[in-house]
Amino acid sequence: MKCGRCRAPAVIEVRRHNESYCRECFVRHCGEQVRRAIEHFDMIHTGERVLVAVSGGKDSLGLWQILREQGFDADGLYLGLGIGDYSDESGRYARAFAAERGWPLLEIDLTTTYGFDVDAGARAAKRAPCSACGLSKRHVFNEVAIEHGYDVLATGHNLDDEAAVLFGNVLRWETEFLGRQHPVLPAAEGFVRKVKPLIRLSERELAAYCVLTGIDYIVEECPMAAGNRHLGYKNALNEIEERSPGSKAAFVFGFLERGHERFMDEVDDARDDLRPCSVCSAPTPGEVCAFCRMRARAVGEPIGVRPVGVRGVS
Amino acid sequence: MRVVLRNPRRELDVPAPGNVGRLLRDLEIIPESVIVIRNDTLATHDERLRDEDVVEIRPVTSGGAA
């Protein structure tokens, strides 16, 4: 098989684009897709400071490298979630990646800084582990980005992630979530701008990018995610993609072009009702934000009491 | 040939089935869900396999929704 661009021997085929690439053309293709997403959705502006949430996995490390190669002022943030050996290992990959390149990596440990881990948070809040993990990541990433003066927070969500989330939101007609599902969430009072520059790349392309550019990433899956609903949606979508290449991209980009705007009113209404959390000041529709409620339950404190010595609380 | 699978890591010894695409079909693996690595680089689906080959079939699907 030959590269469709330069006729050198191909290393990967991407059926969605009906194209095959050699190593050099594929790496260029990945950079082009990220650049196109950033420009089309107006994600990052010249001179802005970017904080990349890195997990030690292929998507976030690949994203950090692509942003740096395109000249963005991008630092990394690693959040230790306390998921046993998995967190130890993923932290090692993130640290090694940053150290090899000499790029700044901020580190926060959920247990050390906030007094609980994902498992304790999930049990205390009666949430699924992935829900407690997501809540913790959204809260801490936003808090750290604001505290350190970053203009934008970039996450490694790829085309498959967005297609699976969209699939789940449509199955249940989660109209407020559909209104929020966009590769850019603009900055607002208490919120840093959040962007997803990998939305034009599949996770297979990200894995291939990492192998071809020598990025060593954690291949093992998070033990808490095994068998979750999100993985089931991804498998179902991959079956569809196999029969009809391009379906995932058509689903996501069709929604963004023709569906998203219809659900935005619900987001605007929800944002109008936000006020500062009485504990941490993060925007919340209630008195105390969901993260502070989960933290209080996990450490056995009364909800709404300002703890001493916890970051973000002075 | 030897096939290395991940999550969990395990190894299979199978007769070389012709090419990479055929190997994935025989193992009932959706090509979109994996990359195939031979000699530290990627292998396309039409690449021929030999009995002395060692290939890794690496899943690419990650589970975090947040």
- Per residue in B5-30, pLDDT (tens digit) is 998 899 999 999 999 999 999 999 99
ipTM here: 0.95
- Per residue in A133-146, pLDDT (tens digit) is 999 999 999 999 99
pLDDT at residue A312, rounded to an integer = 46
The rounded distance, in Å, linking the Cα atoms of A200 and A161 is 11
- Inter-chain touch A12–B34, beta carbons under 8 Å: no
Residue B66 — very low, low, confident or very high, per pLDDT cuts 50/70/90?
very low
Q: pLDDT at residue A281 above 60? A: yes
Find the distance separating the first CA and the last CA of chain B, reported in whole Å: 39
Query: Does some domain include residue A230?
Result: yes
Of the candidates A62, A3, A66, the one whose C-alpha atom is nearest the C-alpha of residue A31 is A66
Q: pLDDT at residue A269 above 90? A: no
SS (H, E, C) B11-61: EEECCCCCEHHHHHHHCCCCHHHEEEEECCEECCCCCECCCCCEEEEEECC
- Per residue in A198-221, pLDDT (tens digit) is 999 999 999 999 999 999 999 998
Per the structure, how many domains does chain A have? 1
Residue A134, domain CATH = 3.40.50.620
* B63 near A CB under 8 A: yes
pLDDT at residue A224, rounded to an integer = 87
- Inter-chain touch A226–B30, beta carbons under 8 Å: no
Residue range A31-47: average pLDDT?
A: 97
CB < 8 Å from B in window 47-106 of A: 55, 57-59
The domain locations on chain B are 2-59
- Inter-chain touch A221–B59, beta carbons under 8 Å: yes
Residue in A with minimal Cα distance to B39: A211
- Inter-chain touch A13–B45, beta carbons under 8 Å: yes
Domain residues for the domain of A283 are 46-299
The answer to pTM > 0.90 is yes
- Inter-chain touch A1–B60, beta carbons under 8 Å: no
Residue in B with minimal Cα distance to A228: B63
Assigned fold of B2-59:
Ubiquitin-like (UB roll) (3.10.20)
* B58 near A CB under 8 A: yes
Residue with tokens 């996995």: A57
